[in-house]
Amino acid sequence: MQSQLSTLPDWLVFGLALGVAGSVLVAGLFLAANRFFPAKQQARRMSDGGERRRRTELREYLTAIDEQYAENHFVEGQHVAFYLPKRDVAITFDARAYYRIERSPTYPVLVEHEMPGIHLGTRLPFEVPEVTLGPDPEESEDPAMHAFEELGLDYGATAAEVRSAYRERVKEVHPDHGGDEDEFKRVREAYTMAKQHVAS
């Protein structure tokens, strides 16, 4: 091997070494950037109040129908939002987990972040009693309720929570970051309204 390298021109050996060093450097930069600055979609999923709000609604609904559940459970090697042990039903927000569990004896239920919790009953594989959980914020006439909903918060959140949620939402919807102008205006209006109704 040493004799083969010595027969190669110096410029070729230098170029190969430089190419390998450059590739290692670029790979290291990508790994570091991915670790310290996660992908926007992942960050959005973590900061989005939609899942948190829907989890609260699903929790209220399952309690209202008197169904025993475990939250943040592992089923068939997949992390799910809720698991109903007596019924062997897994409720998840993750489509990949849904399709993996679908091949097992456990019955999976996929719930979108936008789906109000009261509608879970139509997707469950068993009869559920009729329950009323109070007004759906999306159908409410109260503009303050809509404002908190737009920011992904429960009604009556603190001023600090409203500010934090507003900053996160602006990062997602600002036109300079590829967002929609109308959605950006809705978020600004929601912030103004929510500030006036924060919990003291």
The tens digit of pLDDT for each residue in 104-119 reads: 999 999 988 777 888 8
Domains 47-122 and 137-196 share a fold: no
Tokens of 164: 């934090």
The tens digit of pLDDT for each residue in 56-77 reads: 888 889 999 999 999 988 898 8
Residue 78: partners with Cβ closer than 8 Å, 6 or more residues away: 90, 92, 94, 96, 97, 100, 101
Cα–Cα distances (Å) from 98 to 56, 79, 91, 103, 199, in that order, read: 20, 10, 8, 9, 38
d(C-alpha 82, C-alpha 70), whole Å: 6
User: 137-196: which CATH number, 3.30.460.10, 1.10.287.110, 1.10.357.10, 2.60.40.60?
Assistant: 1.10.287.110
The tens digit of pLDDT for each residue in 152-161 reads: 888 778 888 8
Q: Which amino acid is at 121?
A: G
Residue 47 has pLDDT above 60, yes or no: no
**CATH architecture of the domain formed by 47-122:** 3-Layer(aba) Sandwich (3.40)
Its pTM surpasses 0.95: no
The residue ranges of every structural domain in the chain are: 2-37, 47-122, 137-196
When mean pLDDT is compared across 1-10, 101-110, 166-175, the lowest value belongs to 1-10
What is the H or E stretch that residue 189 is in?
helix 181-196
- At residue 116, the pLDDT reads 81
Q: Which amino acid is at 24?
A: V
Tokens of 186: 């809705």
Tokens of 155: 């009604």
The tens digit of pLDDT for each residue in 9-40 reads: 888 888 889 999 999 998 888 888 777 776 54
Residue 137 has pLDDT above 50, yes or no: no
- Sign of the C-alpha dihedral computed for residues 124, 125, 126 and 130 taken in this order: positive
d(C-alpha 124, C-alpha 89), whole Å: 8
